[in-house]
Structure 1
Amino acid sequence: MSDHEKLSSVEKSQVAVLETDTYSEGGSGTPLSLPEPTEHERTTLRRVLEHPKWYVYFICLIEFSERASYYGTGDRLNNFIQQPLPAGGNGAGAPAHGAAGDSATAGALGMGLQTATALNLLLTFLAYCFPLVTGYIADRYWSRMRMLWIGVFVGIISHVIFIIGALPPVLGNGQAALAPCVIGIITLAIATSFVKPVLLPTLLSQYPHETDVVRTLASGERVLVDRDASLQRMTMTFYWSINIGSFLSVATSYAARDIGYWLAFLIPLILYLIMPAVLLVLGRYLRDEPPSGRSMLADCCKVLRVCFERGWWRRYRSGDFWNYARPSRLRQAGRAGWRRKGAGGFYAESLVQDTRVTLSASAIFLYYVIYNINDGGIGSIMNSQTASLTSNGVPNDLISNFNPLCIIVFMPVLDHVLYPVLRKMRWNFKPVYRIFCGFMIAALASAVGAIIQTVIYNTSPCGRYATECDKGVSPVSMWVVAVEYALTGLSECLAMTTGYEIAFERSPAHMKSFVMALFLFTSALSAALGEIVTPSLVDPHLVIPFGVLAGLGAFMAFVFLWRYWSLDKTMELERAERRALEAEEGAMPAITSVRSYVSGAEDVDHPEGLEHVLSVTSAAVVKDHK
C-alpha cells in the first residue's frame, strides 16, 4: 500500500496536535473569520485542534447526569425483576447480612430470567425507538433546548415512580410492584428519547467552522485548524462523560445490596436533578439552532419518489439513479416541477445530495444491529452468568460496571497516546478501520462469554441447569465475567464513537437530530431481535447464543470492511459537494434579480443558459469566499 493510499488529505501533514482558540479576542462567542486552506496548505501546514469555549463541555455534564440516572436505574432492573425477595432480608430487596447472605443477591419480583430479559429489552427498545419521533420533532417544530426541558420533567416523574414501586410496603404485596416498574420503564424511555437525539448534535454544532481553516498563531506560525480531529476530540469527550455517569451505577448496586431498592432508585433521581441546574446556567450561552419549520423527511420522500420513477433499475445500474432527480436535470427534460404532471415547483438541488448521503449513512447503521447485541449481550444473559458464579459478598450486578470503567481508562489512552502516535507515523487509522476493530473486539467478547458459560455448566452443582440452581453456585469467581465487559468497553471506544461522528457529519443541517435518532434506533432493532430469541435463553442451551453471536459479529465486521473500505474519501467528497451546492444555491437570489431585471419575469425560456450562468456565478462565489 502506498503512502498516498495510507493517508487521506486531512492527515497527510500531521506532525503534532495542539489546542487553539479561534474565537475573537474579546471573548465573545463569535468566531473569527478565517480563510479556508489551499491544497498546498493542506499538505504543508501543521494541524491543530480547536479549543472550544469552557461552557461547551457543560453539555457533557448534562449527558453525565442523564446516563448516570439511566444506568443507575436500568442496571438494577435485572435483579429487581429476575430474583425473588430474599428470605430473611429487610423487605426492601436487600439480602440478610452475615455469612448466610454473602452469596445471596438482591431481588424483588422473582419473575425469572426470561421476564427480566424481556422487560430490560423493552426499556432499550423504547428508549431508542421513540427518538425517531422526538428527533423529527426537534428538527421541524421545537428547539433542542425545549426538547431537553421536556425530557427533564418526564425523567423526574419516571424516577419518582420507580421509588414508589420499590418501597417495602409495595414489595410486600407480591408482584404489585410490577405495575409501577413497567410504567417507570415506559416513562424513562420517553425521557431518554427527548434527550439523547439532541445532546450530541447540540455539542458538535457549537464548533465554529464548517471546514478546515487557517489561523496565524501569536508566534507568527500559520497552522491548519483540523475540523475532523476537533470533532473527534469533542465526540470522545462526550462519550467519556457517558461512561463516567454509567460507572456511578456502582453506588446503586451496593445500595440495593445493603439497604434496598428504594435507595437504589433514589440515587439516580438525585443525580438527574443536576440536569435542570446545568440547563438554567447553560441556556444563555449555547447556540441553539431554530427548527426548520418544514419537513425535511417529506422533502427527502419527494426526491425518492422521483428517483423511483419508471426505469429506476436501469438508471441504478448505469450510476444515474440520483442525478436523474436533480432539479437541473428535470428542467432540462422540460418538466415544470418535481411531479410528472402539473407544476408543484422544485426542491433544492442540494436536497438530492442530502437524501443520498442520509440513506448511505443509514445503511452503515444497519451493521450496528448485530454489534449492539455482541456489545451488551441479549438482555440479562451476562448478568445471569454472574449470579451462577461465586461472588464472595460482592453484588453480582456490580461486574457490569467494568464496561464504563474500561471506557473511562481506554478513551484517554486512545485520544492522547495511540492516535497521536499513529498520526506521527503517518498511518491513517480511518473510520472504517476503527469500526472494524470495534466489531471484532465485540465478537471476541461473545466468544469469551461462550467459554465462561461452558465453564459454569462444567462446575455448577446443577450441571447444565445452573441458572436457577438451588444447590449453590459454581466455585469459579464471578470476576471472570469482567473480561467480557472490558472487551465490550474497548469495542465501544472504537465503534460507537466513530458511529456518532458519522451520524453527525453525514447528515443535513436540519436533520441532524433525526439522523442521530436513526443511529440510536439500531439499539432498538437489536433489542427487538433479542426479544425474538429470548424464549431460547434457557438451560442447557445458553452456550449457543454466545457462539452464534460471535460468528455473526465477525462475519459482519469483514463485510463492513469490504463494503466501506474508502469511506473516508467518500465523506470528504460529500463535504466538498455539499459546500459547492450551498454556494450555488446562495447565488440564486442574485441570479433571480438579474433575470427579473432583464426579462421582467421569473420564468426563463432557456434553462440551459441559466445553468451556465449559475455555474459561473457559483465559481465566483467560491473564489471570493476563499
Structure 2
Amino acid sequence: MILSRKKQAIQTTVFLEIKGKKKIVHPQVTIQSLFNWLYWAMNLASLSSLLTTNVEKYHSFWLAYLIPLIVFMGAIIVLVVGRQRYIRAPPNGSLLIQAFRVIKIAFRLRWKLGKQDHIKHILDYAKQAQISDEITQTNEKMNEFIDDLKQAIYACRVFTFYPIYWLCYNQMVGNLTSQAAQMNVGPLPNDILQNIDPLVLIIFIPIFEKIIYPSLRRLNINFKPILRITCGFIVASLAIAWTAIVQHLIYSTGPNYSFTTEPCSTSKCQKFNNITVAWQIPSYFLIAISRDVQCRFTEH
C-alpha cells in the first residue's frame, strides 16, 4: 500500500536530455525494473542449492545445512556493520491491527447511522469518526489509510485465484522431486533439477527486461497486470499438463512400469524406470516462465 501511494504521487513522466539524447524517465517503469532486478538477484542466490544438494548426497546433511548458516551469518554481519547507513523508520504499530480497527469502526457507524446515500463504500463510514483513542492519527492520515485499505481489499479479489497457482508451482518441490526418483537421474540427486527454475529466471529476466517489455512498450501494447497473471496461469497449466504426460511415459516404460508390483528388496534391483529425467526440463522451464510473468505483478 505504501508503494502504491508513492507511485500515485509520482506518475508524471519526465523527459531528460542525456548526452544529446532525449530520455524518458517513467516512475512506474523504473519501479518495475527495480523489482525485476531484485528478483533476478534472489534467483541468483537460489543457485546455491546446486552445491548443497550435492553436499547432502555425497557428504552429509550437517554440512549441507552449515553452508547456508555461514551465508546468513555473513549477511547479518553486513547489516550490523552498515546499520548507520540505513534509513530506519521508527515503528508505528501493526497495519493489520489498524486495519481491523478501521473495519470495526466502519461497521459500528454503519449500524449507528444507517445507510447514507452519499457514502459509496462501507469503509468510508470510518471517515465519519472523530479522532479518538481508537485511532490516534489526524483525520487526513486516517482517510488516506482508509483509501489504501479499500484499494488493498479490492486487489485481494485478484489473489483469490493464487492458491491454485501456488498449488501448481509447489509441485516443483514435491511431486516433481518424487517423480524424478522414478526416472534415471544418473549420478545426480533427484532434487537437483529444481535449480532449473532459478537458472531459467536468471537468463530470461534480463531478456524480458531489456528486449520483450521495451518492445511491447514501443508497439504501444499495454501488458496489464491482469493479462500478465492470466498468461502466467496459462503457462503454469501447460507445465502441469506436461508433467502429467511425463508421468504417463514413466508408467509406460520398464522395468517397473507403474510400480504396482512388489518392490525388490535387494540392492541390485533397479528402482527406477529407463526414462531420462531430462523429460522434466520443460516442466521446470514453463513453471519458471510463469513465475517470471507473475513477479511483474508485484510492483502494481
- Hey, what does 1:591 align to over in structure 2? none
- Structure 2 CA distance for partners of 1:216 and 1:394, relative to 1, 3 Å: closer
Residue identity (%): 27
- Hey, what does 2:57 align to over in structure 1? 257
Supply the AA of the counterpart residue of 2:70.
Answer: I
- Hey, what does 1:494 align to over in structure 2? 293
Number of aligned positions between the proteins: 287
Q: Tell whether the 8 Å contact from 1:445 to 1:484 is kept in structure 2 after alignment.
A: yes
Q: CA deviation at 1:413?
A: 0.7
Q: CA deviation at 1:324?
A: 4.2
Deviates more, 1:211-220 or 1:257-266: 211-220
Q: Tell whether the 8 Å contact from 2:172 to 2:194 is kept in structure 1 after alignment.
A: no
Q: Deviations over 1:81-125 (max 9, x none)?
A: xxxxxxxxxxxxxxxxxxxxxxxxxxxxxxxxxxxxxxxxxxxxx
- Hey, what does 1:360 align to over in structure 2? 154
What is the SS of the residue equivalent to 1:310? helix
- Hey, what does 2:258 align to over in structure 1? 464
- Hey, what does 2:274 align to over in structure 1? 475
Give the alignment of 1:70-109 within 5 angstroms: none
1:455 matched to 2:235: no
Q: Distance in 2 between matches of 1:359 and 1:353?
A: 10
What is the SS of the residue equivalent to 2:299? helix
- Hey, what does 1:600 align to over in structure 2? none
1:403 matched to 2:197: yes
- Hey, what does 1:442 align to over in structure 2? 236
Q: Of 92, 100, 111, which aligns to 1:310? A: 111
Q: CA deviation at 1:448?
A: 1.1
What is the SS of the residue equivalent to 2:40? helix
Supply the AA of the counterpart residue of 1:310.
Answer: W
1:427 matched to 2:226: no
**Which runs of 5 or more structure 2 residues have no equivalent in the other structure?**
none
What is the SS of the residue equivalent to 1:476? coil
Q: CA deviation at 1:409?
A: 0.9
- Structure 2 CA distance for partners of 1:324 and 1:246, relative to 1, 3 Å: closer
**If the length of structure 2 is used for normalisation, what is the TM-score?**
0.81
Q: Distance in 1 between matches of 2:240 and 2:172?
A: 10
Q: Deviations over 1:172-231 (max 9, x none)?
A: xxxxxxxxxxxxxxxxxxxxxxxxxxxxx9xx89x9995145364355777552111111
Supply the AA of the counterpart residue of 1:291.
Answer: P
Q: Tell whether the 8 Å contact from 1:338 to 1:346 is kept in structure 2 after alignment.
A: no
Q: CA deviation at 1:465?
A: 2.7
Q: Distance in 2 between matches of 1:387 and 1:223?
A: 53
Q: Distance in 2 between matches of 1:240 and 1:357?
A: 28
Q: CA deviation at 1:314?
A: 7.0
Q: CA deviation at 1:487?
A: 1.0
Q: Of 203, 215, 225, which aligns to 2:25? A: 225
Give the alignment of 1:431-580 within 5 angstroms: 431-465=225-259, 469-470=263-264, 471-472=269-270, 473-498=272-297, 500-502=298-300
Give the alignment of 1:147-296 within 5 angstroms: 210-213=9-12, 214=14, 216-217=16-17, 224-292=24-92, 294-296=93-95
- Structure 2 CA distance for partners of 1:485 and 1:303, relative to 1, 3 Å: same
Q: Distance in 1 between matches of 2:285 and 2:122?
A: 43
Q: CA deviation at 1:418?
A: 0.4
Structure with bigger gyration radius: 1
Supply the AA of the counterpart residue of 2:46.
Answer: S
Q: Tell whether the 8 Å contact from 1:216 to 1:222 is kept in structure 2 after alignment.
A: yes
Supply the AA of the counterpart residue of 2:253.
Answer: T
Supply the AA of the counterpart residue of 2:294.
Answer: A
- Hey, what does 2:164 align to over in structure 1? 370
What is the SS of the residue equivalent to 1:320? coil
Q: Distance in 2 between matches of 1:344 and 1:246?
A: 43
**Which runs of 5 or more structure 1 residues have no equivalent in the other structure?**
1-200, 503-626
**If the length of structure 1 is used for normalisation, what is the TM-score?**
0.41
What is the SS of the residue equivalent to 2:274? strand
- Structure 2 CA distance for partners of 1:376 and 1:474, relative to 1, 3 Å: same
Q: Tell whether the 8 Å contact from 2:182 to 2:273 is kept in structure 1 after alignment.
A: yes
Q: CA deviation at 1:244?
A: 0.8
Q: Tell whether the 8 Å contact from 2:180 to 2:190 is kept in structure 1 after alignment.
A: yes
Q: CA deviation at 1:366?
A: 2.8
- Hey, what does 2:188 align to over in structure 1? 394
What is the SS of the residue equivalent to 2:275? strand
Q: Tell whether the 8 Å contact from 1:303 to 1:351 is kept in structure 2 after alignment.
A: no
Q: CA deviation at 1:390?
A: 0.8
Q: Distance in 1 between matches of 2:198 and 2:37?
A: 13
- Hey, what does 1:530 align to over in structure 2? none
Supply the AA of the counterpart residue of 1:361.
Answer: A
Supply the AA of the counterpart residue of 2:98.
Answer: D
Q: Distance in 1 between matches of 2:77 and 2:124?
A: 51
Question: Which structure has the higher relative contact order (CA within 8 Å, separation 6+)?
Answer: 2
Q: Tell whether the 8 Å contact from 1:456 to 1:466 is kept in structure 2 after alignment.
A: no
Q: Tell whether the 8 Å contact from 1:239 to 1:497 is kept in structure 2 after alignment.
A: no
What is the SS of the residue equivalent to 1:217? strand
Q: CA deviation at 1:392?
A: 1.9
Q: Distance in 2 between matches of 1:208 and 1:314?
A: 33
- Structure 2 CA distance for partners of 1:468 and 1:493, relative to 1, 3 Å: farther
Q: Tell whether the 8 Å contact from 1:386 to 1:396 is kept in structure 2 after alignment.
A: yes
Give the alignment's Cα RMSD to 1 decimal.
3.5
Q: CA deviation at 1:442?
A: 1.0
Q: Of 179, 185, 208, which aligns to 1:414? A: 208
